[in-house]
């Protein structure tokens, strides 16, 4: 079995999962966060080297203040736990997205998480929080423009590779497989540049119920795909 080097996940369906159990949406987020720790370990044990997960989009601020508040509390707790998990499991954590809209203490914890795990050599774990792909591209363009104005970069020197280096995912190879749980078949502003040649896998299973077996199923399907990158199939 060919294990994808980089798997990106849109972990969706926490709210619907909770509702189906007669529980409040926030309970779904709590269980979703717990499941993330489990899947993280499973992914690494299966041989996945990069795992990138979507925790909060630039559009998710539109949710009720109650839900946003509960999510932020959860991220605070999750980030602290993750500092320990990263140390125990040799994970290198990167944060994608614009942290400046997050509360100061959360920004501090995220910095600590990245800093304390930067020399780890196991799973490369990217968490996208206040992340939107269009926002990421615009922030990258601003940096490119600033470097051009400074004379550090000439417009004709801007290549796809150079530009990739200005994105939040600089250093991270493009995903091989994208998984979205809970039935929706859209990207919701996730990694638009990076997913140019990624295989997509959609499942009805909501995130809190997504297991190692479901991950294995996605990888099995991925193995049946014929990746071409615009070329023709080799006989």
- When CB distances are held under 5 to 8 angstroms depending on the partner's kind, the choice from ligand IPE, Mg ion, none that residue 220 binds is none
Token duo for residue 200? 């997509």
158: CB partners within 8 A, 6+ apart: 144
Residue 222 contacts ligand IPE per CB under 6 A: no
List the helix and strand counts (H, then E) for the chain. 7, 6
Give the integer Cα–Cα distance in Å for 15 and 206.
9
> Residue 12 or 199: which CB sits closer to Mg ion?
12
> Residue 89 or 188: which CB sits closer to ligand IPE?
188
As measured in angstroms, the least distance from the Cβ of 33 to Mg ion is 15
Token duo for residue 92? 């290198």
**Residue 226, helix vs strand vs coil:** coil
Residue 12 contacts Mg ion per CB under 5 A: yes
Written as one string, the DSSP assignment of 161-197 is: HHHHTTSTTTTSPPPSEEEE-SS--S-TT--TTTTTT
Give the integer Cα–Cα distance in Å for 97 and 190.
10
As measured in angstroms, the least distance from the Cβ of 11 to ligand IPE is 6
Token duo for residue 66? 């109650």
60 among known catalytic residues: yes
Residue 208 contacts ligand IPE per CB under 6 A: no
> Residue 2 or 20: which CB sits closer to ligand IPE?
20
Residue 102 contacts ligand IPE per CB under 6 A: no
Contact (Cβ atoms closer than 8 angstroms) between residue 181 and residue 210? yes
Residue 11 contacts ligand IPE per CB under 6 A: yes
Question: How many residues in the chain?
Answer: 235
> Residue 34 or 223: which CB sits closer to ligand IPE?
34
226 among known catalytic residues: no
Stretch that binds ligand IPE, among 11-19, 73-81, 91-99, 144-152 (CB under 6 A): 11-19
- Contact residues for ligand IPE (CB under 6 A)? 10-16, 54-57, 60, 71, 182, 184, 186, 188
- Contact residues for Mg ion (CB under 5 A)? 12
Give the residue numbers marked as catalytic.
Answer: 12, 60
């Amino acid at each position: 079995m060919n294990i994808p080097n980089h798997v990106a996940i849109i972990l969706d369906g926490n709210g619907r999962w909770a509702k189906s159990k007669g529980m409040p949406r926030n309970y779904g987020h709590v269980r979703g966060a717990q499941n993330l720790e489990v899947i993280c370990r499973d992914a690494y044990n299966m041989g996945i080297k990069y795992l990138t997960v979507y925790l909060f989009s630039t559009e998710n601020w539109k949710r009720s203040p109650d839900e946003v508040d509960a999510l932020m509390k959860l991220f605070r707790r999750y980030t602290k736990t993750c500092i320990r998990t990263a140390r125990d499991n040799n994970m290198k954590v990167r944060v994608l997205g614009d942290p400046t809209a997050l509360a100061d203490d959360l920004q501090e914890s995220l910095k600590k998480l990245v800093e304390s795990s930067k020399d780890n050599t196991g799973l490369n774990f990217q968490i996208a929080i206040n992340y939107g792909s269009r926002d990421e591209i615009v922030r990258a363009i601003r940096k490119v423009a600033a470097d051009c104005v400074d004379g550090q970069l000439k417009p004709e020197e801007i290549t796809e590779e150079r530009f990739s280096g200005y994105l939040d995912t600089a250093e991270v190879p493009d995903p091989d497989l994208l998984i979205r749980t809970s039935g929706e078949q859209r990207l919701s502003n996730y990694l638009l540049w990076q997913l140019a040649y990624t295989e997509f896998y959609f499942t009805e299973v909501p995130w809190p119920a997504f297991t190692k077996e479901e991950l294995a199923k996605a990888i099995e399907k991925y193995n049946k795909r014929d990746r071409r990158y615009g070329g023709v199939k080799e006989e």
